[in-house]
Amino acid sequence: MITTFEQHVSCDQARFPDATGEFTWLVSGITLATKMIESQVRRAGLTGLLGSFGAVNVQGEIQQKLDVYANEALIHCLSLRESIGIIASEENERVITLRHDSPNAKYAIVFDPLDGSSNIDVAVTIGTTFAIFRRPDARAADPLDWVLQPGRQQVAAGYVVYGSSTVLVYSAGRGVHAFTLDPQIGSYLLTHENLRIPEQGKYYSINESYCDRWPETYVSYLRRLKSGELGRRYSSRFIGSMVADFHRTLLRGGVFIYPPNTDYPEGRLRLLYEANPVAFLAEQAGGSSSDGTRSILDVQPTDIHQRTPLIVGGAIEMAEFERCVREG
């Protein structure tokens, strides 16, 4: 018996008496756009979509052609969902106001259209991350108020990882579920229901080339993970695409860490559309997250592109991190 992503969301929404199906229609914009992105990712080398677009985005990073395509696909598909009032994208400096004053516009969506762009041309796994917020209770005059909400306010969040298979991982606050794209029928089919992050894994995931520029807490944390004092010697995995590194952490356990360093004193990853979605999923799956002082989900954003340190993983690895923070 197969369950498509749309069936899953529709059944989930049916639990709410006033559900109108508009949320199901909203998330179908994500599945459609990511299927369009997936088809281009798989053929990029054949269709001239590899390489740089020749422009620099708001992050100061050289845009890849697939970055631009992915962003345009998501904006196009989501703009057709009248329940979305505001969009914030990693590729756009400012929020995109679709229908800010419409009574039907109840949601805002933030996304990184293609995370891990440096891996595109070498055929390494990349991904799309997203989070959905309800418009603030008050009639939010400022579009920014729709998206500058703490991660704990996310109505739903997830990512699509374009790897050896294409997997949509999603939560609407009732567990984490994964749907694998069946390219023969063009549907995301439920393959992992109620995913739980293992209490302890065997991998830590960090770019160790920055180790001479980390705060001491992270140096001692890595030393503990490597020492075997947590009952096992950890191995290292770092793909350079947060989505891929987090997906392995979610399925196999362990911890993903992007500390602050002298190059990125606030951390490198973006709070709104990278850290918050994975922090939400990790917590829904029995793990947790931190920015070094508190849960990622408790951070009040002040800018749509603000960066943050990110530590996210299973119960044992995160408890050990908190111990290292307490001991200073």
Of the candidates 27, 289, 43, 258, the one whose C-alpha atom is nearest the C-alpha of residue 150 is 289
What is the smallest separation between the CB atom of 307 and ligand P6P, expressed in angstroms?
10
Rank residues 25 and 210 by Cβ distance to ligand P6P and give the closer one: 210
Examine residue 163 and tell whether it contacts ligand P6P (CB under 6 A). Answer: no
What is the smallest separation between the CB atom of 118 and ligand P6P, expressed in angstroms?
6
Examine residue 120 and tell whether it contacts ligand P6P (CB under 6 A). Answer: no
What is the smallest separation between the CB atom of 243 and ligand P6P, expressed in angstroms?
7
Q: How many chain residues interact with ligand P6P (CB under 6 A)?
A: 9
Rank residues 5 and 159 by Cβ distance to ligand P6P and give the closer one: 159
Residue of 12, 115, 283, 317 that binds ligand P6P (CB under 6 A):
115
**Torsion angles phi and psi, residue 110, rounded to 5:** -120, 145
The helix/strand/coil state of 67 is helix
Under 8 Å between Cβ of 247 and 256: no
CA angle 265, 281, 166 (to 5 degrees): 100
What does the per-residue mask of binding to ligand P6P show for 200-229, with x meaning CB under 6 A? Answer: -------x----------------------
Examine residue 268 and tell whether it contacts ligand P6P (CB under 6 A). Answer: yes
Sequence-ordered list of residues with C-beta below 8 angstroms from that of 206, at least 6 positions apart, any chain: 222, 236, 238, 256, 257, 258, 259
Q: How far apart are CA 81 and CA 104, in angstroms?
A: 10
Quick one: which H or E segment has residue 225?
A: helix 216-227
Examine residue 118 and tell whether it contacts ligand P6P (CB under 6 A). Answer: yes
Examine residue 242 and tell whether it contacts ligand P6P (CB under 6 A). Answer: yes
What is the smallest separation between the CB atom of 242 and ligand P6P, expressed in angstroms?
3
The binding site for ligand P6P (CB under 6 A) comprises 115-116, 118, 207, 240-242, 268-269
